[in-house]
Structure 1
Amino acid sequence: MNHTDMNTVADSFFAAVEAGDIAAIKSMYDPDIRIWHSRDEANTDMAQSMELLSMFFDRVSDRKYEVRARHFYEGGFMQEHVVHGSMQDGSKLNLPVCFVCSLSPAGKILRIAEYCDSAKSPLKGVAQHDA
């Protein structure tokens, strides 16, 4: 994939997350997707990812991704962003994240590694999965 196509995948993915569109996100995933999060160091599959995203959408409204940088590499992209949103208790979420995404040749999301400062994350209650 060229950078333009990868940029389109990235923009579409984060727009779907902002909108809370589980069906759109699922359609972008490769069936063999694996997602790793620094907060729990677990590798999750598609079903677990859908569960975690549903919980995230329930707990955080007004989601917005402030992209600070996006870099492309052969087969994927890396993005630095800040996730903004409103928590159920009215507090604000402002979480810096480094997101690394590998894409299949067909342009499906094959692997995600998401790094965030767990000390700054108010999302500690989101489900944990065993590796």
Structure 2
Amino acid sequence: MSEMLELADKMFTALERGEIAVLDEIYHSDVTIWHNWDNAEQSREDNLRILSGIPTRYDDFGYEEPRCTVLEGGFLRQHVIRATIGDKTVNVPTIFRVFVDGGKVRRIEEYLDAGELRKVFA
């Protein structure tokens, strides 16, 4: 159980800091990332490329109010994304269902209201 929580902490710390090398290390080579807002699966390469741009897209970015629950074969992570550009800040409740296989992330299902991000940062 603690290994799963440690993996979750490592993953979200890396996401928040833009540490793509850490994500590269903990992702399976064939990881898929699905988003509810476009109902599409994203490849490992596309996901790492997009995540690498977070530090340049936002003046401030982080995960607030983290709650993590260990599940069989992975974990569920709830948090509020707080992102700032200039004088605009958005808070978006988010859920990640993460499937883990052999200590590495095999699949991520991300649920959030992307319209909230677009509404503030359009």
Q: What TM-score do the two structures reach when normalised by structure 1?
A: 0.83
What residue ranges of structure 1 are gaps of 5+ in the alignment?
126-131
Matches within 5 A, 1:57-68: 57-68=55-66
Structure 1 pair 99/65, CA: closer, same or farther in 2 (3 Å)?
same
Give the unaligned 5+ runs of structure 2.
none
- Return the structure number with greater helix share: 2
One of 40, 47, 53 as aligned partner of 1:55: 53
Q: Give the SS at the match of 2:118.
A: coil
Task: Give how far 1:74 is off.
Answer: 0.8
Identity of aligned residues (%): 31
**Contact map agreement 1:34 1:43 (CA 8 A) in 2:** yes
Change (3 A) 1:62 1:111: same
Equivalent in 107, 116, 122 of residue 120 of structure 1: 116
Moved more, 39-48 or 51-60: 51-60
Q: Point out 4+ residue stretches in structure 1 off by more than 4 angstroms.
A: none
**Structure 1's 22 and 57: CA in aligned 2 closer, same or farther, altered over 3 A?**
same
- Structure 2 counterpart of 1:128: none
Measure, in 1, the Cα distance between the counterparts of 2:44 and 2:21.
Answer: 12
Quick one: which of 10, 13, 16 aligns to 2:11? 13
1:35 and 2:33 equivalent? Answer: yes
Which of 100, 103, 106 is the aligned partner of 2:100? 103
Q: Structure 1 4/37 Cα, relative in aligned 2: closer, same or farther at 3 Å?
A: same
TM-score, length basis structure 2: 0.88
Secondary structure at 1:98 match in 2: strand
User: Alpha carbons of 1:124 and 1:114: their partners in 2 closer, same or farther (altered >3 Å)?
Assistant: farther
